[in-house]
Amino acid sequence: MNIKYCPMCGSAVIHEIPEDDDRLRHVCHNCGNIQYQNPKMVVGCIPEWEGRILFCLRDIEPQKGKWTLPAGFMENNETAAAGAARETWEESRARIRIVAPYRVYDLPFVNQVYFMFRAQMTEPFFQTTPESAEVRLMREEDVPWNEIAFPVIRETLKSYFEDRKTGHFEFLNLELPPERI
Ligand SMILES: [Zn+2]
């Protein structure tokens, strides 16, 4: 993101490498503030109820009209697990119990990290929301693989269904390269 003005004092910022640093930053020469830009964390989960997985049909951009798992940007003052539960409720009104961390995907080319948890729904309740035009529990054989919103979600799901066959779920940190987007 290209920042034009200092968020601290409103002066125009300069794009330069500060002393003792090794990369370009937005530097304010008026108040001395350096506006660092860092990756965003996306938190989400794979909500399961009696073998089926809860999917949300996105009613917002990007990827409106495609299916996804509940996930979204982590907020300040919350844990990753609480963020995943909050996003699930916001997108589907479902309540979940986090089972275990499952995947951390680095997406360095878009400056994001996805943290996905395994989760169990605590009751078979869900409904549409302002963010989801439809919410549905799906069996593996019913998953519309060509209509999944994001490659990182598709990767997560494919691994999950594979692991579920053996009952052995490993917590992995993987990188998703740009050509997989
Ligand atoms: Zn400033």
| DSSP per-residue letters across 138-152 | E-GGG--GGGBS-HH
Cβ neighbors of 153 (< 8 A, separation 6 or more) are 44, 68, 69, 71
For ligand 1, the distance from its centroid to the CA atom of residue 38, given in whole angstroms, is 19
Architecture of the 1-37 domain: Single Sheet (2.20)
For ligand 1, the distance from its centroid to the CA atom of residue 3, given in whole angstroms, is 12
Mind listing the pLDDT tens digit of every residue in the chain (181 residues)? 789 999 999 999 999 999 999 999 999 999 999 999 999 999 999 999 999 999 999 999 999 999 999 999 999 999 999 999 999 999 999 999 999 999 999 999 999 999 999 999 999 999 999 999 999 999 999 999 999 999 999 999 999 999 999 999 999 999 988 876 5
Q: How far is CA 127 from the centre of its chain?
A: 21
Position 2 scores a pLDDT of 83
Position 132 scores a pLDDT of 98
Contact present, 92 and 62 (Cβ < 8 Å): no
Position 181 scores a pLDDT of 58
Sign of CA dihedral 74, 78, 82, 85: negative
Environment of ion ligand 1 (residues, CB < 5 A): 6, 8-9, 11, 28, 30-31, 33
Position 177 scores a pLDDT of 82
Position 180 scores a pLDDT of 65
Write a three-state SS string for 152-173: HHHHHHHHHHHHHHHCCCCCEE
Q: From the options 3.40.190.10, 3.90.79.10, 3.90.45.10, 1.10.520.10, give the CATH code of 40-180.
A: 3.90.79.10
Contact present, 65 and 57 (Cβ < 8 Å): yes
For ligand 1, the distance from its centroid to the CA atom of residue 10, given in whole angstroms, is 6
Q: Where in the chain is the domain with CATH 3.90.79.10?
A: 40-180
For ligand 1, the distance from its centroid to the CA atom of residue 113, given in whole angstroms, is 29
Q: Where in the chain is the domain with CATH 2.20.70.10?
A: 1-37
Sheet of 25-27: strand order equals 14-16, 25-27, 34-35
For ligand 1, the distance from its centroid to the CA atom of residue 76, given in whole angstroms, is 23
The pTM of the full predicted model, rounded to 2 decimals, is 0.92
Position 139 scores a pLDDT of 98
Position 144 scores a pLDDT of 97
For ligand 1, the distance from its centroid to the CA atom of residue 30, given in whole angstroms, is 5
